[in-house]
Structure 1
Amino acid sequence: MAKPLVAVVGRPNVGKSTLFNAIVNKRISIVEDIPGVTRDRIYFDAEWLNREFTMIDTGGIEFITDNSHVIPKMMRLQAELAIEEADVILFVVDGKQGIVPADEEVANILRASGKPVVLVVNKIDSVNQEPNIYEFYNLGLGDPIGISAKNLMNLGDLLDDTVKHFPPVGTNVDDEDTIHVAVIGRPNVGKSSLTNALLGQDRVIVSDVAGTTRDSIDTYWTQKKKKFVL
């Protein structure tokens, strides 16, 4: 069977990409103190307690009704696709800021998904901040786990809880014969459109704005019984 998929979701700027990088133990996703840096789904393998799994980083989920804000809407679509395919969802919230209306709206989406959800209260950087965790019980998603992704605090407890939700151990996909193909070129020549056309799905965000794709995006693809990473 394929490796379990773990999606990291939440509103913008709560530390999703910092957590993703900490778990995969590599700087894969771009991290900045501005919302909206991560836009597409980003995949990378990780391991904990001898269980291999694939992490999915996503852009922040925003609830915008203005039709002029195309990219935030497409970012939300990418996050919703990650929720749909994930085996476990890490819902990241900001322990310093507390619950905001967008957290409640994301929580509603996750409850409707029926998927196992681990509620991750990030930015708990010291013992003095631990009481901030209890407010998040109000989201109705079980016991929140306080962590500091930036300082690598309490990640072990988080991963212990995450792997409990994995499907039974099976045989992982053999990737020895997988062919890796890179799509490159200067900005705004249609690389993302080509990728989506090959895959037959809206895998990466496409817009007329140069530089919409910011991270390298790996996608597994099978064509005529041959396996590729595009």
Structure 2
Amino acid sequence: MNGKSETPNVAIIGRPNVGKSELFNRLIGRKIAIVHDQPGVTRDRLSAICTRGPRPFMLWDTGGVGGAGASELVAQAHRAAEDALHESDVLLFVVDAKQGLSPIDLELARLLRKSQKPIVLVINKIDDPKHENLAADFASLGFDNAVSISAAHGRGMSELLDAISALLPATASEIENRPSTIENRLSIAIIGRPNVGKSSLINSITRSERAIVSELPGTTRDAIDISYERDGQQFLFIDTAGIRRRGKPKSSA
């Protein structure tokens, strides 16, 4: 997300384990991000073009903001999420209706307001209309645009896409009439064993810290789709997890 592409950017922001990756997969229409009950699974910024709504946009799934931990990986994930916040045109602030309002949610709300970006409060995990009363817990956050959804079951997706479309920059209308830009995109997969510098190569080409880089093998957990535009040509770099013969990286995350 470095300003080179004309496609509007929409970032999913929220504390760990509120369903950001599940929402990302639901909006994109295919499984790209790993979904797990354990907080902190998403470390890298994942991106993909969403064409399901009235207008296409680049969707970003960030690592959870506000999670515990002091390692460099966690710090990089937080910086990547903050970069997404500042570089996006629209922010999707995801909260967990079942867990209710948390102190981290309150802190994130203050941070997001300072960005002065259009925000949609996405109240996730309302799996049944009879649970709509759970959304009232978040009214105190004071956001004008709020949508109740269930990313797991697909509930509320049409309403969410309409809310996003209404907030996209006016210049995005030019993208709507250029489907060939996406169709002619050049896809490039970066393949290699763990820790040979695949993520560093991606970051060097795109001139941004989109993939988390560490000396620890197995840092890249997802196959990351990273869109990039140069001289009018759209590229899709696929940063794959390292190919292994045996064993798994040891991790408590």
**Cα distance in 2, alignment partners of residues 73 and 33 from structure 1:** 21
In structure 2, relative to structure 1, the CA distance for the partners of 1:8 and 1:223 (3 Å cut) is closer
1:217 maps to 224
Paired letter, 1:196: N
**Cα distance in 2, alignment partners of residues 227 and 149 from structure 1:** 29
In structure 2, relative to structure 1, the CA distance for the partners of 1:227 and 1:97 (3 Å cut) is closer
The answer to whether the 8 Å contact 2:92/2:119 transfers is yes
Percent identity over the alignment is 43
Paired letter, 1:170: E
1:132-163 C-alpha deviation (Å, 9 max, x unpaired): 10111112222432111111111111111111
Which blocks of at least 5 consecutive residues in structure 1 are unaligned? Answer: none
2:43 maps to 39
**Cα distance in 1, alignment partners of residues 84 and 197 from structure 2:** 23
**Cα distance in 1, alignment partners of residues 199 and 114 from structure 2:** 30
1:59-116 C-alpha deviation (Å, 9 max, x unpaired): 111255x6x4222221111111111221111110000111111111111221111110
Which blocks of at least 5 consecutive residues in structure 2 are unaligned? Answer: 238-253
The answer to whether the 8 Å contact 1:137/1:143 transfers is no
2:250 maps to none
Could you list the structure 1 runs, at least 4 aligned residues long, displaced by more than 3 angstroms after superposition. Answer: 175-179, 220-228
What TM-score comes out, normalization by structure 2 length? Answer: 0.82
Q: C-alpha displacement at 1:127, in angstroms? A: 2.6
Number of matched pairs: 228
What TM-score comes out, normalization by structure 1 length? Answer: 0.89
After superposition, the CA RMSD in angstroms is: 2.2
Pairing 1:72–2:79 present: no
The answer to whether the 8 Å contact 1:62/1:73 transfers is no
Paired letter, 1:127: P
| Aligned 1:158-169 pairs, distance under 5 A | 158-168=160-170, 169=173
1:84 maps to 86
